[in-house]
Amino acid sequence: MTVTATPSTVLYSARKGARLFSSEDLWAIPRVGAPNLSPDGTLFAVTVTTYDLEKNEGRGRVWLVPARGGEPRPLTSPEFSSGEPVFAPDGKRLAFTRKNEKGKAQLHVMPLDGGEPRRLTDLPLGVFDPKWLPDGSGIVFASWLFKGHLTSEATATEIARREKDPVKAQVTEDRFYRYWDTWLTTGEVPHLFVYDLATDSIRDLMPDSTVWFDWMELGGNYDIAPDGKEIAFAGLYWSPERDIVRQAIFVVPAAGGTPHCLTPDHPAEDRRPRYSRDGRHIVYGMTHDPFFYADRARVMAYDRQARTHSPWIEEWDRSPSSWTFGRDGTLYLEAEEAACLCLFAWRGTGEPRLVARGGCVGGTTAGPDGKLYFLLQNLSQPAEVHACAADGAGLERLTTFTSEATSRFGLGEVREMQFEGAYGETIQMFLVLPPGHQTGKTYPLVQVIHGGPHGISPDSFHLRWNAHLFAAPGYVVAMVNFQGSTSWGQDFAKRIQGGWGDRPFKDVMLATDVLASTGMVDESRMAATGGSYGGYMASWIEGHTDRFRCIINHAGVYDTLAQYASDWTMGRAQAFGGEPWDGLEAIDRYNPARFAKGFNTPMLVLHGERDYRVPVSQGLECYDVLKAKGVPARLVYFPDENHWIQKPKNSILWYREVHAWLERFLKG
């Protein structure tokens, strides 16, 4: 089939190394956290996490790094796992969290001119996300309490009671009762506390609150007003009158009290409140569609004096995920664009202006001189701290924590290509070539299909589905950002709702045609892999084409009707085209389980027991159908993992199984 495509562009050159990249190498790479800048801009603190494969665990260590260049120095001991460093307003102390012998993070503070850290808390469920009050008199932090046991003492007593109770049943009448890998019926809710340094006392700032924070990203849910008198936070709660979970913006006095909701009547999600430098506004993101999780975020501002909401950035067809203010009032935003996570600046009018593009940025903070500091990574480079001027000029890398580990192995070349997809759309994909790739030689192809479906295969060094690890044994890896992907605007992402198996499938097949026509890949040796929605597509491919030699399905949706056992059932009708009681025909139209007659391709199925987003029964059902039909299949079941494989040794086994399956069918 003839498909219109542009020539591939080299993004990152191949890098020679003494050996091929392995899963053990992946876990030997230090993982660098976002920079926290000192008040005078001369230093930043950063958490670097390293992993011990024998102990099967990671430990964070806080480092201090000169912001203008120089050798970093470790601040905390490697004996304990530490993280979340924040400088005091006077720049002389650092607050951070450190895990105790029970694995619970507790608040610590230490002087920077010498001395040992001092533990400030011993709370039963640990603490997270510390921030200093502007005058340095105390430290705000979050911790969990149990509903109905809303003191630390009562929560500790309840923990002891539950540990002794032989009955572990969960009982509920709620529609929303578990999330990712956590049962919400256990009752943990986050509260904001303040540690008063003068009196060495802790005060609960919201003693009656039962709202949740965003479980996916515990940090960054609140901000403190510049005068230190108020705290704004994003809280999740169940809205029974609308039958949805929504996130709203709340404020609470820094002295403590009952939280007040600023956005009770908004239609969907409000997130990430941030006070303007002058304290006049609370800036936050607002979405409009509660049933479309990738709905574009509009940047809104709440005028604290007038008590009114107004749009600041409303028509921009990008969806910022994070924003922070510079010292001059410039708003810096991180937003996806064309499979990258880019940095933009907005100075009060018009659309945001691009500051940095290429790879993925994160954790942006602005220095007193306007210089920007952030994490930056790409497909061939793990995250490290970088800096640039406010206009993007003078981009420089400031840390080299990952250099030693990445120097031990080689990587293949990374390219980018565009082609005409289903219905005439322009589709982008990344290509990762095997190390030692030779022009003119054909290689097996591995299609790596991203999840979501409203997400991307990004220009980043993915720590679970690493493209170079797939390519290392000698494969060309393709990552297609099919229709339904984010970062190309709202319409591009939303158009596949009610048609999961249509445009994305056709785009992946057309990408396969493009690569076959270039002579880069051997069309007789191809594999399709994917996780979550990518696993759905793996099952859909299983029933609709025999062109792949093997398929890998991780945590994939197999039966769209049975997906009602998921933790999140709001918006299913919009995603699948109908409800079980009113729309079965639409649900079944793109249901992989209804096309088992076409199942012929060998499939590796991997799934975690604690996966509540795509319940483990989805993987088991798919595997059992394949085995019953006589199709070669292999099951890898993880009793201690959720939707992702996060433990080092489990990850190494995961890659071992994946590589062995590919070798079994692509190398023969």
Q: What DSSP string runs through 198-228? A: TTTEEEES-TT--PBP-TT--TTSEEE-TTS
For the chain, what percentages of helix, strand and coil (3-state, to nearest 5) are there? 20, 35, 45
Q: Which long-range contacts (CB under 8 A, 24 or more apart) does 645-653 make?
A: 645/464, 645/606, 645/608, 646/464, 647/56, 648/27, 648/51, 648/53, 648/56, 648/57, 648/58, 649/53, 649/56, 651/23, 651/26, 651/27, 651/464, 652/23, 652/24, 652/27, 652/53
DSSP 34: -
Give me the torsion for CA of 296, 461, 362, 454, rounded to 10°: 10
Work out the average pLDDT over 67-96.
Answer: 95
3-state SS class at 504: helix
Peptide bond into 267 cis (omega under 30): no
Work out the average pLDDT over 433-453.
Answer: 97
Residue 216: alpha-carbon gap to chain centroid = 7
Structural domains in the chain, sorted by start: 409-561+603-666 (3.40.50.1820)
The model's pLDDT over 225-267, given as tens digits with 9 standing for 90+, comes to: 999 999 999 999 999 888 899 999 999 999 999 999 999 999 9
3-state SS class at 377: strand
Residue 387: alpha-carbon gap to chain centroid = 22
Q: Kindly tell me if the per-residue pLDDT of 104 is higher than 60.
A: yes
- How does the average pLDDT of the chain come out, rounded? 96
Least confident of 66-75, 212-221, 641-650: 212-221
Classify each residue of 85-110 as buried b or exposed e, where b means 16 or more C-beta atoms within 10 Å of its C-beta: bbbbeeeebbbbbbbeeeebbbbbbb
State residue 365 phi and psi, 5-degree precision.
-140, 150
Specify the pLDDT at position 150.
Answer: 87
DSSP 597: G
Specify the pLDDT at position 252.
Answer: 98
CA distance 260 to 278: 22
Q: Which long-range contacts (CB under 8 A, 24 or more apart) does 365-369 make?
A: 365/34, 365/35, 365/36, 365/37, 365/44, 365/324, 366/324, 366/325, 366/326, 366/327, 366/330, 366/332, 366/390, 367/37, 367/41, 367/67, 367/327, 368/39, 368/40, 368/41, 368/327, 369/41
Specify the pLDDT at position 1.
Answer: 53
> Strand ranges (DSSP E) for 9-87?
9-12, 19-20, 31-32, 36-37, 43-52, 57-66, 73-74, 82-87
Sheet holding 118-119, edge to edge: 82-87, 93-99, 105-111, 118-119
The model's pLDDT over 492-543, given as tens digits with 9 standing for 90+, comes to: 999 999 999 999 999 999 999 999 999 999 999 999 999 999 999 999 999 9
Specify the pLDDT at position 268.
Answer: 96
What are the DSSP calls for 548-592, one per residue? -SEEEEES----TTGGGGSS--TTHHHHHSSBTTB-HHHHHHT-G
CA distance 62 to 38: 14
The model's pLDDT over 288-307, given as tens digits with 9 standing for 90+, comes to: 999 999 999 999 999 999 99
Return the half-sphere exposure (C-beta side, CA atoms, 13 A cut-off) of residue 408.
Answer: 12
Yes or no: say if 497 and 294 are a contact pair by the CB < 8 Å rule: no
Yes or no: say if 415 and 10 are a contact pair by the CB < 8 Å rule: yes
Q: Which pairing describes strands 414-420 and 409-410: parallel, antiparallel, or unpaired?
A: unpaired
Burial of 166 (0-12, 13-18, 19+ CB in 10 A): exposed
Burial of 356 (0-12, 13-18, 19+ CB in 10 A): buried
CA distance 601 to 549: 6
What are the DSSP calls for 95-129, one per residue? EEEEE-TTS-EEEEEEETTS---EE----TT-EEE
Structure-token pair, residue 354: 């691009």
Specify the pLDDT at position 240.
Answer: 86
> Strand ranges (DSSP E) for 508-661?
521-531, 550-554, 603-608, 633-638
Work out the average pLDDT over 114-120.
Answer: 92
Specify the pLDDT at position 69.
Answer: 82
Beta-bridged to residue 480, according to DSSP, are: 429
Q: Kindly tell me if the per-residue pLDDT of 328 is higher than 70.
A: yes
Cα R_g (the chain), whole angstroms: 25
Specify the pLDDT at position 228.
Answer: 98
Q: Kindly tell me if the per-residue pLDDT of 668 is higher than 70.
A: no
Residues ≥6 apart with Cβ < 8 Å to 607: 554, 555, 614, 616, 618, 619, 620, 635, 636, 637, 638
CA distance 105 to 163: 20
Q: Kindly tell me if the per-residue pLDDT of 2 is higher than 70.
A: no
